Amino acid sequence: MPLQSLRLELYTRPGCHLGNDLRAICERLATEIAFELIEVNVEADPVLRSRYEYQVPILFVDGRLAVRFRTSERELRRILNWQLFRKRFRRG
């Protein structure tokens, strides 16, 4: 079976320390778990800025809200492994 990968979208803004922390956790987990991390600057899009102005950072995993504001490395690892498990058996 080919290696499954997740799509992570990190909605944040420049200078957001919580966003920087969440990105750093993702980068550490990238050595263990296959995923693509896409960073979305909410300041670059008026619609996103209006919708998420006071809610960043937010992390979506395969389009599903997974984290708002902060989490631990352990908790994000658990979330990502669970999503991989679901993905594996949803397609099988």
Instruction: Encode pLDDT of 37-59 as tens digits.
Output: 999 999 999 999 999 989 999 99
pTM of the model: 0.89
Q: Single out the residue of 91, 82, 92 nearest to residue 33, CA to CA.
A: 82
In the 8-state DSSP scheme, what is residue 53? Answer: T
Instruction: Encode pLDDT of 14-36 as tens digits.
Output: 999 999 999 999 999 999 999 99
Q: How far apart are CA 42 and CA 29, in angstroms?
A: 24
Q: How far apart are CA 28 and CA 15, in angstroms?
A: 20
- Residue 65 scores a pLDDT above 60: yes
Chain position carrying tokens 């389009």: 63
